[in-house]
Structure 1
Amino acid sequence: MGRTVQRRQRPWPPSRITAAGLAGTARPACPVAAVAAPKEDRTPMTDTDDPLRGLLAEWPGRFRFPGLMLAFSDGQLASLEQLALAGLEGIAADHDEYRACAGLISDGEFLVAEEAISECRALETSQIEDLRKRLSRRRAECLQSLLGRVQRLVDRASAADVAVVPEQDALTALCTRSWSRVEERLLVEEQVLERALDEKRDSLRQRYEKSVVQDGETDLGSTVAALLKTGHLRAVELMLTDGAISRPGPEGVPPLRGWARSAETPHEILRWHLNPLLRPTGYVRWKPVDEQGQELLEAFDALGNNNESTAAQFACALTRFLSGQDRPAPAVHRVEGGYLTTITGVFAAAETARFRPTGSVELFVAAPEAKEYPDLDLRQPYIAVGHSLQASDSSERTTCAVLDLGHLVELVTLSSRVPIQVLRVLGRQWPLDVFTGGSATSLEALLGNEPGERWHVLRWIVDLAGLGDLTTADALLFQAGPDLALLHLFLEFLALPKAAVRSELDAYGVVRDWARDPSFARTLESAALTPIADSPGARVAFWAALSAAVPGQPVTLDEILLCAASVAGGDMPDDDLEPEIRQGLAQLAALPLVVGATSGEVRFHRCGVLLILGGDADRRLQKALLQLAEESASSRAGLGEVLRPGDWRLYRHLLRPELRRYEELAATAAAPVEELLAASRGLAAMTGEPPSAVPVDGDSDLAATLLEMRESFTAHYPQVTLDVHGPDSAPVAISPAGLRVILYEVLTNAAEAAEDNGEQIVRATVTPAGTEFVVDIQDSGKGLPYPEGSEYRVFRDGESTRGPDRGHGLHIARRLARKVDGDLSVRARALAHPVLRGAHFQLLLPVAIGEPGR
């Protein structure tokens, strides 16, 4: 890069021990007592007997004395007294070489055991094979134990937001040598972490006690105490810093008891309410706290009459129960399976009103015998009640939430915060969009701009949607940082049925371990880099900065350039790329995860997503450097951007009238390079839909077209293999230009996906199916970056994970196919090919009646 700079040396955290400590304490070893003089004539030993040490270090019998072998490992220098003691211990143990080596393996002294296996000639072949198996197995056990303990330390440090992180690479390397030294070092790490936790815990406890003195006791006292005890200190700090202690939060509303441990059934308790003569002594704990609760249960019982009047009566009773106010009877409409009306009061609490400003919710009253509700297309969340309806235990979310009798008989016993409890019941069944608005932009409007308000609202969203508790909200904020697009993705991920968890602790772990889901990890990375997706220089600066320092520390341009040179090695691009990297560094300011960026320095927010991405930064940086070099070379060549006849990219524009004018210009030998380059760039910039007036009616041969396009495809994607299978002829009812545009978009999508993976294969299989031809297009990529069940989003116009001005092709291809009564769809992942496990698109085109090619 034309400069010499010193790369930042990452300082070890204060938990690191000295080199002497790392080496460990010397262990007594060596059977020197066996060669010492008789006791009465023996003179004191000294540490100057180096010849004796040399003799013992080469003595063939040392392999029967584990202490001796340990004493001479890693250049340690033990005193002769220690060697004598080790010798006596070895004599007392009376080991042979095999048992001594097995003992070393059991104790985790792997390097010494390995040397013994390699050098000891007294071991038989079968013994050597057995010892090697034991060594491998014991090493794996210790490594697994190490990684688990390190992860627990990292998790505790993360939950408390303290900067004490074990050096996992150093510990892993040490684990291949000696488990005892690993344990010594882990003990130091744990002690340092405990001291850091105790200090921060005491500080936060004092801050909380001070806030209580100033503002008075709140309903969060037990919550704060529990969080301090379990080490979730970052959550407590957020509550104290942002004033959340004084705000009513979901933690102050205890959950419903539920029916898991109840001996009674809801219908039995309803009979007690309706008939005082049946009430046992235990009825008192189910007694409604006021008349409104009793009226609600009576109105529910009256639903057995199944008419408009009883439906209106129940709606009024439920509204009065929730809001404490009398409202006019709502309109009731007869619909399939029951009646439809409206209620208010579900969102009556001040903390939840923002989620439903209108306040009203539609209520479906089912027929008494109905055990399922009909699929009403109301396009908004609604509530269903009925004598036989029961809320499902499924984690699937639907627009209909059932409020069953079990909920009602428990709700009427509550004296406060009833709307919150009702919304908790409903929110766990409704789609997440009810609380987020369905997009990052809507979520931003709900959360507001003030950090304390965001933290407060997020706690309510997580609680009401049944995604977790305060610790889950804390983990979400830490992972996503200030990037609300990432936060929205995390919330959607938690709400997926496959991510359904059994407790708040599980939810916290799901958020913490998001990187274990490769598809979600790719989606997060793509969303985080969207603002710089079209800037190779910015991507190089991003990955180099993550590689150079831990997020939160400033990184200079010099450090980024040196990091890039270090990663690229001999493939480092020349100095001409420095301006592009400098410019890209300034462009990082567009990222929400960046505190600030100029052409000379950048600093990231410290968040979980960047910490995880940083672990793969070197590999991603190497790829980004290659892409930058290729694009830079193409730009310098100038004509590299000109689309020549036969260029694969020309297929995209076959339905545009601008293509004919461009081809005429490109065929002119005297055309100025600047004019040709400008025309080429103008054509390439046309990524939207072609003119709707251009017809696509006609006939084509699908099989011949695929074979014709394969040559241009291979020239443009030389690393990707395009396999074409099908009949010799496949006449379809679509114009040649329309067919080529569809195939271009689908094959290009498959090729780009395959390029991102190892084995790069795209397969197009043509199959006749009655009055249609089916084209299955599969690739060996990583698959669509969407949660299972939402792959349809790939066809939305502008939907893409590959940067701006992308995401139009598949939308165009599907629209063109449907114009000729065909279709383009995504096949289910469960039907994935055993080898081509990427995306699987299926194109349907009608069979042509006449001769193809018109």
Structure 2
Amino acid sequence: MSMPLRDLLADWTDRFRHQAVLVALAADTEPDPEQLARALLDTYHGPATPTEVYHRLLEAGEFELADRMLTDCRELREDAADLRQALGGVRAVAGEAVRLKVGELRRRAEDADLTPPPEPDIDELGERAHLRTAPVATRLEQYERTLDRDIAIAVETLRGSIRADERSPAQTAYVEDLLTAGQLRVARAVLEREPPGALLPEAVPQLPAWRTAFDPEVVRQVLVDPSAPRVAEYRRWEPADPDARALLDAYDDLMSEEGCTRQAVVVFTSALGRFLGASHRIRPVSDRPDGAGFMTSFDGLFAEDPLRHFHETGRVDLFVAAPGQPGLPGDLAGLQQCVAVGRGLEPSGYLGGEPCAVLSTRDLLRLLPLTAHRPTAMLRLLARQWPLTVLAGRSPKDLDRLLGSGETRWRRLRWIVDLAGLGDAVVVDEMESATGFDTGLLHTMLHRAAPGQPRTALLPGGRFASWQGDTDLVRAMEEHLMSRCQDEASLATFWAALYVAEPDGRVRMDDVRAVASMVVVTGKDTATAVAAGAAALAADGILRPGGEDDLWLLPRAKVLGLLARHAEERLTHAVARLPAVTAAEPADAQSALLAQLSDWHINRHRLAPDFAAYQALTGAASTDSDELLSTARQVLAQTEAGDRLAPDGTSLLDQVLRELAAELSAAHAQVEVDIRCPADAYAALSADALRVVFYEILENAAESVSSIGGGTVQVIVQIDEPDLVVDILDSGKGLVGQFQDRPTLVFRKGRTTKGPDRGHGLHQVRSILADVAEGPAEITLGAAGDAHPTLRGVHVHLDLPQRAGRVGR
């Protein structure tokens, strides 16, 4: 009986010189004699050495065979260490290739906004690639074909939406580009959030690049002089219409040694305004005292609809440099938006680095051929030089106001990103994904991106492509979130919520309490901390109600997913920093706590959400003392955290002031209160809001007056439609120390001369007034000596919105 072919080959001593034999032996089926014979005949010129076969196996991805060959082949034993190291290296490369390929397919599915087919398991594929790469490649190819099919179906669906909506050519072309790039999620966002006919950034073509071989001054002189020979290459810069021609001629006059006069500046600004489509209006021109040139202004830069909300008036300061002026004067840094023109002035070429943007000769020539969207094109040139605060504001609150509400937020962020030179809708989509459109995180991301970036390095869609690997940016966003957690309780609650949050951001407070209590740190009241922390996070907006009892929502921000990797460690540290549980509070401490809610001082807390509950307990026939103390602590904590009710309502100001005056006199016997208020002065604030505002101001004044043995506090109210103008003056010692030169410092939280745990009152007043819906409601502060001959302490000035109507809380 003949021996099976497999057994013959397994005993053949020369099998290690033939790759086909080794592969056939590793197969699950009996080797095909004909195929094996052909493979052996192919080596008629001579078999390979075992070392050559080994390396061919590595190249073919037959790692298991190569590993077995190292064990069974005696001829490889001398070099086994080096050969095994080579095997380890190619296995690592194969595993990394699998990880990268799966990541690429996953990103394609995310970009296409698809529910992908069942995703290959990276660990399983990695283990298989450790043995053989061919089956793994086949599996990934099958997955990619399925994904390609699903993407193609989604693309055709979106193309149908474009045709049905009758989009503009610019919108259609841009969405088509996104579809071609596989950015289906962004394309869908553009179609859903930007209505047909809306002006997209992509509808305003980028200005053509300037050829470095062309000297802008030579081009200008040729275009201005009708007798100069026409140069074919310069035709692309020919002015498009009479307004563009007038602008070029006016600019040419400014650039001449003798032509840069006050009248020439007037002519230039008028021509610039007409070029931008603004109404013709001569702007005043001032000579600079230092002889550096002229200061004036112009209109029209923010004239187009998507841009108007970035600038309330649309008027921009203009510096015209005198001939020979070497650069920009330093005092231009104090202007919010400023443009400079002048011979030899050039922009720096970096984003956000200049307080004053330069309109160079080269850039002005690039604008002249335009027939449409001139303001937007010019603003692109200038805004990329200004600090990002011009477009995005100095604070998250500024950015929130600029973005507006609803789908307006997406569209306006699109324009901020475009004008700042940070990219296109792909970048906006990535920013939304990273931040969940949380304004604070968004503000952090924008400002981390802009300063000092070379304009030439910013490619559309590429600026934030690797933000998750930008450790500095992720750390900055984490630090921003930590700054919003006002105490250890907030920090512990935040990390606990991040630890238990579901992928869609849902957080069950029972889970938060449970995981916080599981941290092995003895002597900590985690339940109380979680309750207080949740209230603070909700007041800040980090947590939002989820529509069910005990259900809260975190922003759907990818950065939170990154931070969640460290949540357990951070939670442990945060719980360790919580105050230790103390014994029952002594009676004198309880009395001191309730004294903060006495007849006069209780006014500070009237906007706390639990204030009404505290009043109900104090007015009840019988009240549990623990419940009263617990509610009192909650009221004090809410005031400290700035958690308060909206200040809106209608109140008779005279009545509120006279009630407060009586309470103040009872608390400060040495202080005389002089109230002068019209009987029909109605303020557009609730009575509780007015009591909080005037308590903080009057208490400060009374303390100052009492410190010198007594005196007067005067309150004068005047009706100045549509406002109520209020002046509070006192005979105290006035502002002291650093507040004399910088009185606005008193509005910062914690800034005071009155010792620890003070410095919150006027900060709270300004915050309340900023929240008044029918504003403006404003407060300023200075020395009273400027307003009164004898009351020479502090002068507080309020502008309150007036409302005629019935008194309401």
SS in 1 for 2:345: coil
Is residue 2:475 matched to residue 1:522?
Answer: yes
Is the Cα–Cα contact under 8 Å of residues 540 and 581 in structure 1 kept in the other structure?
no
Quote the Cα distance in structure 2 between the aligned partners of 1:624 and 1:432: 33
2:221 maps to what in 1?
271
What is the aligned partner in structure 1 of residue 307 from structure 2? 352
C-alpha separation in 1, matches of 2:364 and 2:48: 74
Find the counterpart in structure 1 of residue 83 from structure 2. 131
| Residue 383 of structure 2 corresponds to residue 434 of structure 1 | no
Query: What are the ranges of 5 or more consecutive residues in structure 2 without an aligned counterpart?
Result: 586-628, 642-747, 752-756, 761-809
- 491, 495, 501: which one aligns with 2:450: 495
Alignment of 1:96-175 (within 5 A): 96-117=49-70, 119-120=71-72, 122-164=74-116, 167-175=121-129
* 1:331 to partner: Cα distance: 2.5
> What displacement does 1:288 show?
1.7
Structure 1 spans left out of the alignment, 5+ residues: 1-32, 38-51, 641-674, 688-795, 800-804, 809-854
Of 326, 330, 335, 2:280 maps to 326
Matches within 5 A, 1:746-765: none
Amino acid at match of 1:226: D
Q: CA deviation at 1:156?
A: 2.4
Work out the CA distance in 2 between the residues paired with 1:584 and 1:172. Answer: 47
Partner of 2:359: 403
Question: 2:140 is aligned with what amino acid?
Answer: L
| C-alpha distance in 2 between matches for 1:638 and 1:35 | 89
Offset at 1:467?
1.3
**In 2: Cα distance, 1:340 partner to 1:525 partner:** 43
Distance 1:582 1:639, change over 3 A: closer
AA matched with 2:80: I
- Could you state the TM-score of these two structures normalised by the residue count of structure 1? 0.60
Q: Is 1:512–2:458 an aligned residue pair?
A: no
Q: Distance in 2 between matches of 1:806 and 1:494?
A: 37
1:457 aligns with 2:412: yes
Secondary structure of 2:143's counterpart equals helix
User: Any residues of structure 2 matched to 1:408-427 within 5 Å, and which?
Assistant: 408-427=364-383
The CA deviation at 1:356 is 1.1
SS at match of 2:74: coil
Give 1:145's aligned amino acid.
Answer: A
Query: In the aligned structure 2, how far is the partner of 1:564 from the partner of 1:69?
Result: 59
SS in 1 for 2:496: helix
- What pairs up with 1:537-552 in 2 under 5 angstroms? 537-546=492-501, 549=502, 551-552=503-504
Aligned sequence identity (%): 28
Q: Give the CA deviation at 1:807.
A: 14
User: What letter corresponds to residue 130 of structure 1 in structure 2?
Assistant: D
Contact 1:515 1:521 in 2 (8 A): yes
1:472-483 correspondence runs (5 A):
472-483=427-438
Matched, 1:248 2:199: yes
RMSD of aligned C-alpha atoms?
4.3
CA contact (8 A) 2:304 2:376 kept: yes
Rounded to whole Å, the distance in 1 between the matches of 2:459 and 2:311 is 25
- In structure 2, what is the Cα distance between the partners aligned to 1:798 and 1:64? 82
Q: What do residues 395-447 of structure 1 show as CA deviations (whole Å, max 9, x unaligned)?
A: 45211111011122221211111111110110111111110112111111111
Partner of 2:580: 635
Query: One-letter code of the match for 2:4?
Result: A
Equivalent residues of 2:524, 2:575 under 8 A apart:
no
Alpha-carbon distance in structure 1 between the residues aligned to 2:79 and 2:758:
63
Residue 271 of structure 2 aligns with which residue? 317
How far apart in 2 are the matches of 1:807 and 1:185? Answer: 66
TM-superposition CA deviations, 1:462-496 (whole Å, max 9, x none): 11111112222222222221211111112112212
Q: Which residue of 2 aligns with 1:80?
A: 30
1:45-90 deviation line (CA, Å, top 9, x unaligned): xxxxxxx88x9889987756656766787xxx71224699669747
Distance 2:41 2:324 in 1: 86
**Partners of 1:346 and 1:419 within 8 A in 2:** yes
Structure 1 residues 291, 280: closer, same or farther in 2, change over 3 A?
same
* Separation in structure 2 between the aligned mates of residue 60 and residue 558 of structure 1, nearest angstrom: 70
The separation in 2 between residues aligned to 1:807 and 1:235, in whole angstroms, is 47
Letter in structure 2 aligned against 1:230: A
Residues in 2 aligned to 1:536 and 1:268: alpha-carbon distance in whole angstroms: 63
Cα distance change on mapping 1:606 and 1:296 into 2, 3 Å: same
Q: How much has 1:104 moved relative to structure 2?
A: 2.3
Structure 1 residue 534 displacement after superposition: 3.5
Distance, in Å, in 1 between the alignment partners of 2:448 and 2:508 is 35
Give the Cα separation in 2 of the matches to 1:308 and 1:363.
13
Q: Distance in 1 between matches of 2:385 and 2:504?
A: 39
Instruction: Tell me the residue number matched to 2:662.
Output: none
1:659-705 CA distance string (max 9 Å, x none): xxxxxxxxxxxxxxxx9xx99xx9xx999xxxxxxxxxxxxxxxxxx
* CA-CA distance at 1:389 after TM superposition: 1.4
Mapped partners of 1:179, 1:467: distance in 2: 41
Q: 1:140 to 1:78 in 2, by over 3 A?
A: closer
For residue 696 of structure 1, what is the aligned residue in structure 2?
Answer: none
Contact kept in structure 1, 2:489 and 2:533, CA below 8 Å = no
**Distance of 1:585 and 1:636 partners within structure 2:** 16
**TM-score with structure 2 setting the length:** 0.63
Aligned counterpart in structure 2 of residue 366 of structure 1, from 318, 321, 326 = 321
Equivalent AA in structure 1 for residue 573 of structure 2: Q
Q: Residue type matched to 1:485 in 2?
A: G
Tell me if the contact between 2:351 and 2:420 (Cα under 8 Å) persists in the aligned partners: no
Counterpart for residue 657 of structure 2:
none
CA separation of 1:233 and 1:270: change in aligned 2, threshold 3 A: same
| Residue identity matched to 1:622 | E
Residues 1:194 and 2:148 aligned together? yes
SS in 2 for 1:339: strand
Change (3 A) 1:63 1:284: closer
Give runs of aligned pairs for residues 224-239 of structure 1, distance below 5 A: 224-239=175-190
Specify whether residues 406 and 510 from structure 1 end up closer, same or farther in structure 2 by C-alpha distance, changes over 3 A only.
closer
Q: Post-superposition shift, 1:461?
A: 0.8
Instruction: Determine if contact 2:498/2:560 at 8 Å carries over to the other structure.
Output: no
Q: Aligned partner of 1:400: which letter?
A: C
Kindly indicate whether the alpha-carbon contact (under 8 Å) linking 1:312 and 1:332 is maintained by their aligned counterparts in 2: no
**Mapping for residues 619-634 of structure 1, pairs under 5 Å:** 620-627=566-573, 630=576
For 2:140 and 2:230, the matched residues in 1 are separated by: 60
Instruction: Give the whole-Å Cα distance in 1 for the aligned partners of 2:146 and 2:108.
Output: 12
Residue in structure 1 matched with residue 660 of structure 2 by the alignment: none
For the 8 Å contact 1:34–1:87, the answer to whether it is kept is no
- 1:144 and 1:342 map into 2 onto residues whose CA distance is 59
Per-residue CA distance 1:255-292 (angstroms, 9 max, x = gap): 1113137x643222322332211141636543322222
- CA spacing shift, 1:603–1:178, aligned 2, 3 Å: farther
Hey, what does 2:724 align to over in structure 1?
none
| Structure with more relative contact order (C-alpha pairs < 8 Å, separation 6 or more) | 1
- Which amino acid in structure 1 is aligned with residue 388 of structure 2? L
The one-letter amino acid paired with 2:385 is Q
Distance 1:113 1:174 in 2: 15
Aligned to 2:135: 181
Q: Give the Cα–Cα distance (whole angstroms) in 2 for the partners of residues 609 and 155 of structure 1.
A: 17
Structure 2 CA distance for aligned equivalents of residues 580 and 473 of structure 1:
40
Q: 1:247 to 1:439 in 2, by over 3 A?
A: same
Comparing 178-187 with 421-430, greater Cα deviation is found at: 178-187
Equivalent positions of 1:591-630 (< 5 A) are 592=542, 596=546, 601=551, 604=554, 606-614=556-564, 617=565, 620-627=566-573, 630=576
User: Contact (CA 8 Å) 1:499, 1:510: kept in 2 or not?
Assistant: no
